[in-house]
Amino acid sequence: MSTAKLSHLAETLIGSEIVKLGNMISERIRAGEKIYNFTIGDFDPKVFPIPAELEKLIIESYQQRNTSYPAAEGVLDLRKAVSQFLKEWEGLDYAPNEIQIASGGRPLIYTIFKAIVDKGDKVVYGVPSWNNNHYVHMTDGEHCVVECKVENHFMPTVDDVREHIKGATLICLCTPQNPTGTTLTKHDLSEICDLILAENATRKEGEKKCYLLFDQMYWTLTYGSTVHYNPITVRPAMKEFTVFVDGISKAFASTGVRVGWSMGPELVISKMKAILSHLGAWAPMAEQKAVAKYLYEKDAIAAYLTQFKSEIEIRLHNIYDGFIALKEKGFTVDAVAPQAAIYLTINIDLVGKTTESGTILASQQDVTSYILSEAKLAVVPFSAFGGASNSPWYRLSVGTCIKEEIPAMLDQLESALGKLK
């Protein structure tokens, strides 16, 4: 094997732990093993297809030969449609020149970091959270990590952020959150916004401001009494300092369609456009044209979301109820009541227990391996999201869940738990 030196980034960056785990599980399933795979934050299109109207529009768009390069900032039709969609559905007022289109959320997040963060700049983010650690690493920022607690639904509080705010360049919030499926309350979000506004008021003319990266990719997927709040609605003055990450990936089970958008201050958006023009990470022209038409179909969107959300919520609550039932039977498991997104936060605390063969589960990695081998349950430990390696908390994703299999999965888990001493 070659020992040639590459860049510092290439030699220090690790690939997505979630994707690596998901691929490993998929290989075992292809080999014929029955596994309840709740690892990847994606959808099985056979279980959760994209909206029929959107599918039809995409096919028509290709038939209309919309296959050339799109504009670097996204086609104007789509940016106008996004502007109208945001106003109707969230009450947010963004002009087309304040909107950037890209191929999903990842290139948008990367370009937000590249447009704002210099080497050594402080970036504040909570853990567990999705990929913030990697984006900070890719931009040579300073990691200011907040260890979030279950009593706060694994979301950062204003006191957590206050500890790092002085001199910070970027605060990263995701709500509804991946991996936890929990949300920031209006009160907590308002307090964090007030903190950012107060900090920026202390900075001199020409000094870099503190920006908020606000990832709301799951904002349409809330359940029960849960309400999604955004920084601009709770504190209008935050518009000057907030850059959103949004799109169709999770709202319409369209992860592979690759259409995402950011909204933010025109200066930031223009710099993101320049960076993206070199990356070429634009959404395909045909899909952009199709989504531009679909976003105006308010009744179709409402009908799709009603059915889609209902199916996700059934799965989340059935699995949550099953974990609570196991807890009541005396097993050392737990779960956080589902609030949003496609994720359930579960707790499997088995370190120190002994298997039938006499093997002691000495680490959380041993626990993860045990429930995979004995219960055939594949979930992602919070350590893959920046959490501690000994954390007993996991993300369980229901995007590929067949609801009729939930009782059998819970029975198999109970059997595996019952074999331990």
Domain ranges of the chain: 8-48+302-418, 52-297
**C-alpha gyration radius of the chain:** 22
Q: Return d(Cα 37, Cα 18) in angstroms, integer.
A: 12
Summarised one tens digit per residue, pLDDT across range 217-253 is 999 999 999 999 999 999 999 999 999 999 999 999 9
Average pLDDT over residues 254-274: 98
Q: Is the pLDDT of residue 302 over 70?
A: yes
Output the pLDDT for position 14. 81
Output the pLDDT for position 170. 98
Tell how strand 333-335 and strand 36-37 pair up: unpaired
373 backbone dihedrals φ, ψ, rounded to 5°: -75, -40
The two tokens of residue 141 are: 């920022």
Look up the CATH number of domain 52-297: 3.40.640.10
Q: Residue 330, by phi and psi: left (phi above 0), alpha (psi -120 to 50) or beta?
A: left
In sequence order, which residues have a C-beta less than 8 Å from that of residue 274 and are 6 or more positions away? 72
Output the pLDDT for position 116. 98
Q: How much of the chain, in percent, has pLDDT values that exceed 90?
A: 91
Output the pLDDT for position 330. 97
Q: What is the DSSP letter of 153?
A: T
Output the pLDDT for position 18. 76
Confidence of residue 37 (pLDDT cuts 50, 70, 90): very high
The two tokens of residue 367 are: 């626990």
Quick one: 8-48+302-418 is in which CATH superfamily? Aspartate Aminotransferase, domain 1 (3.90.1150.10)
The two tokens of residue 349 are: 């605390």
Please tell me whether the peptide bond between 128 and the residue prior to it is cis, using omega within 30 degrees of 0. Answer: yes
Asked if residue 298 lies in contact with residue 88, where contact means CB atoms within 8 angstroms, the answer is: yes
Q: Is 0.75 topped by the overall pTM? A: yes
Summarised one tens digit per residue, pLDDT across range 67-104 is 999 999 999 999 999 999 999 999 999 999 999 999 99
Q: Is the pLDDT of residue 209 over 90?
A: yes
